Copies of this chain bind each other. A is one copy, B any other.
């Protein structure tokens, strides 16, 4: 009686490259220019607009001038001369004034869907600018130039962006792959030791559930990385980025179904970051979360104590703390048990946690035993104290 229903069905293809280089905006380096030239359909007018993390700008005072020199040599793409420098770190996702600044620039400088917005900075700045670019004119092409280890090996090569709203992390955001990512090792050299180290936790995470050989490489190169050896760091970033990209590609890139993101060790890490008001860095919290879920995997009979001690040793060799007082399971309403409950709600009712079944392999479980969790936290607390005595 009514008109037959209509079925819509289509595929959208997404492609982008992650390039590795040093001194991206040195005039001798034509990588960036070649990328822009390759994308440029002959007749389209193209502009590029840069947003730079203040922490990066301060540590690299010549950066803006280098970009200007670069585009006076490679001038097929028109550089918007006003380079927007805004704070890096979580503040750029917390305060909407920075998001607004990008939108205003889009409007003022006439950045359209044939133009690019390039962001140079840590994961927080990339998340905010990526979001602003994706919602402006239904999606301005966006280039990511990550400047921290975490953003080069994980967040910057992924497909998510976002800002915080109502005091909730990533309350607003979209899935939107970048046009390209450029990982420039020069930026890493000016990172604080904490930020240099922090991102390595993501490599431990992905190695532990996906790639035993990479885990062994991390063990062999932990000291080199702890001593700020750039070659070791470069390989770690490349391999970790590769594993993250493969996971996204082979899974459910926009998380529309139930496929899990790569989040071993993350459920307690998220809670800890919140509880410490982000005083504990993401990677630092992840290292502690990995330690916790590793010991839990051992206590629940999934891995040997030799294997779990290898993980703990690696975490310590890199200079991470093993645990935090807030991760202890105490009597009553422990924050960490609350965190577990919040994670269950976040997943829509059913808990899914990855545990280790070996070094390089994981399995999903749908329950965590409170008693074992308490023991795991205590063991870590004990090991951490040993270290300092």
- Return the chain B residue nearest A238 by Cβ: B3
- Return the chain B residue nearest A252 by Cβ: B12
- Is A143 part of the binding interface, using a Cβ–Cβ cutoff of 8 Å? no
- Is A68 part of the binding interface, using a Cβ–Cβ cutoff of 8 Å? no
| Contact in complex: A136, B172 (CB < 8 Å) | yes
- Is A145 part of the binding interface, using a Cβ–Cβ cutoff of 8 Å? no
| Contact in complex: B242, A6 (CB < 8 Å) | yes
Kindly identify which residue among B17, B19, B103, B114 contacts A349, using a CB–CB cutoff of 8 Å. Answer: B114
| Contact in complex: A238, B6 (CB < 8 Å) | yes
Chain B proximity mask over A234-267: 1 for CB below 8 Å, otherwise 0: 1101100110010011000111101000000000
- A348→B40 CA distance, assembly (Å): 11
- Return the chain B residue nearest A104 by Cβ: B166
Chain B proximity mask over A213-239: 1 for CB below 8 Å, otherwise 0: 000000000000000000000110110
A68 vs chain B, min Cβ distance (A): 24
- Is A8 part of the binding interface, using a Cβ–Cβ cutoff of 8 Å? yes
The stretch from A54-62, A173-181, A279-287, A313-321 touching chain B is A173-181
- A20→B7 CA distance, assembly (Å): 12
- A114→B165 CA distance, assembly (Å): 19
- A346→B111 CA distance, assembly (Å): 10
- A177→B249 CA distance, assembly (Å): 21
Chain B residues near A235 (CB-CB < 8 A):
3
- A73→B10 CA distance, assembly (Å): 35
- Is A72 part of the binding interface, using a Cβ–Cβ cutoff of 8 Å? no
- Is A278 part of the binding interface, using a Cβ–Cβ cutoff of 8 Å? no
The dominant DSSP class at the A interface is: mixed
Chain B residues near A14 (CB-CB < 8 A):
8-12
Chain B residues near A17 (CB-CB < 8 A):
5-8
If A3-B20, A248-B8 touch, whether A43 touches B114 (CB-CB below 8 Å) is no
- Is A41 part of the binding interface, using a Cβ–Cβ cutoff of 8 Å? yes
- Is A370 part of the binding interface, using a Cβ–Cβ cutoff of 8 Å? no
- What are the 9 tightest A-B residue pairs by CB atom distance, in nearest-first order? A114-B348, A3-B238, A3-B20, A44-B348, A6-B18, A45-B349, A2-B20, A138-B173, A10-B249
**Contacts A9-B13, A45-B349, A139-B254 supplied; 16 other A-B pairs, CB < 8 Å:** A3-B237, A4-B20, A8-B16, A8-B18, A8-B177, A8-B248, A8-B249, A9-B249, A11-B11, A12-B253, A44-B350, A103-B165, A103-B171, A107-B165, A135-B173, A138-B175
Could you give 22 example pairs across A and B, Cβ below 8 Å? A3-B235, A4-B20, A6-B245, A8-B17, A8-B177, A10-B248, A10-B253, A11-B12, A12-B14, A12-B256, A43-B350, A44-B349, A45-B348, A46-B348, A103-B166, A107-B166, A112-B346, A136-B172, A137-B173, A138-B170, A139-B174, A139-B256
